[in-house]
Amino acid sequence: MKTFSYVNATNEKEAVAALSPSTRDGHGDALAAARSGHQPSKVPIAGGMDLLGLMKDYIVSPDRVVSIKGLDQTIASGDGGLRIGAAVKIADLAEHAAARKMYPALVTAAEGVGTPQIRNMGTVGGNIMQRPRCWYFRNEEFNCLKKGGSRCFAVDGENQFHAIFGDGPCHIVHPSSLAVPVIAYGGRFRVAGPNGAREIDAGEFFQMPNANLYGENVLQPNEIVTHVILPAPGQRSASYEVRFKQSHDWPLAAASVNLVMSGSTVKSARIVMGAVAPIPWRVQAAERMLAGKTITEGVATDVANAAVAGARPMTGNQYKIQIARTAVKRAVLAAGRA
């Protein structure tokens, strides 16, 4: 990996200052660079699981790395929900008693992330900010669309793990397992930047390639996610992942379901699919179908069919439609039993 200087930020202000363009960088710097396909010259590091891999493969080669692992690492209760520090380790989230009780869909997803070592090192914020796993993006030899090149190699190439929704022009699937249940729970991200802090609805945080080709979300290079804020959950919720390997893998398709109940009837639902599109893929048509229903096998099947109705697979990933359908159906049934 390329050499870089290292700054250990002990609070948000320091982190934002250290990530901001300095006068020596000249005008434009990070913002302009990020919009032109060049990676920012200053990047934050928390667990480092994703970033160090990117740097070793020369996908990202910053001049400065700013440690933000010292920022808030606590999980606090508030407003009927939880406020999770972005620097909380995934293992700590998975073991947190209140999180386990309140947000089973999130905890299931956290338990499925990577391996024990990755969960011990990786942070909640890092999982949300994780870069795509697309093998063309991760390979230095392929100057793909996302890296400022002129084509997406997945279109005519090996695309068995790529998107079945979204229609490109970049066909990644979003790699975050935690973002899927966070959106299902109606969570928000607290973001710190040069103008202070703001909160962004998790459902509006992620961006499709036609809105932001070189990044996956609305965050500017000198902004950091500091907290995940979850409102009170619905009475029932669950996640279901289908994977190629039981460990050390990203799901082929996943689904998180959060249900507000009125007795045994669903009052309102949120259904979000993961690993099927460049962003966590919320399916409101399927959500509406659940309202007013009691969950049965037949209802879950109909909802799952509706969830994948708009899928447009590539040459080698048609099979993912059935897998996504199964993930939704099983997540709905699991939430119904919860």
Write out the residues near another protein by the rule CB under 8 A: 1-9, 13-14, 17-18, 20, 22, 45, 48-49, 52-53, 55-56, 63-65, 67, 69, 91, 114-118, 120-121, 194, 246-248
In sequence order, what DSSP letters do the residues of 15-43 get, joined into one string?
A: HHHHHSPPGGG-SSHHHHHHHTTPPPSEE
Q: Which is nearer to another protein, 66 or 238 (CB)?
A: 66
Supply the minimum distance, in Å, between the C-beta of residue 95 and another protein.
Answer: 11
In sequence order, what DSSP letters do the residues of 226-291 get, joined into one string?
A: EEEEE-PPPSEEEEEEE-SSSSSS--SEEEEEEEEEETTEEEEEEEEEESSSSS-EE-HHHHHHHT
Cis peptide before 169 (omega within 30 of 0): yes
Q: Which is nearer to another protein, 19 or 182 (CB)?
A: 19
Supply the minimum distance, in Å, between the C-beta of residue 12 and another protein.
Answer: 10
Dist. CA 165–CA 31, nearest whole Å: 28
Q: Which is nearer to another protein, 14 or 302 (CB)?
A: 14
Supply the minimum distance, in Å, between the C-beta of residue 114 and another protein.
Answer: 7
Supply the minimum distance, in Å, between the C-beta of residue 115 and another protein.
Answer: 3
Supply the minimum distance, in Å, between the C-beta of residue 253 and another protein.
Answer: 21
Which phi and psi (to 5°) does residue 16 adopt?
-65, -45
**DSSP type of residue 145:** G
Q: Which is nearer to another protein, 2 or 312 (CB)?
A: 2
Q: Which is nearer to another protein, 63 or 167 (CB)?
A: 63
Amino acid, res. 255: A
Q: Say if residue 82 is exposed, middle or buried (CB neighbours under 10 Å; 0-12, 13-18, 19+).
A: buried
Q: Which is nearer to another protein, 13 or 312 (CB)?
A: 13
185 contacts 257 by C-beta, under 8 angstroms: no
CA dist list (Å): 57 to 97, 140, 222: 38, 6, 23
Supply the minimum distance, in Å, between the C-beta of residue 18 and another protein.
Answer: 5
Q: Which is nearer to another protein, 41 or 258 (CB)?
A: 41
Supply the minimum distance, in Å, between the C-beta of residue 86 and another protein.
Answer: 17
Dist. CA 78–CA 70, nearest whole Å: 22
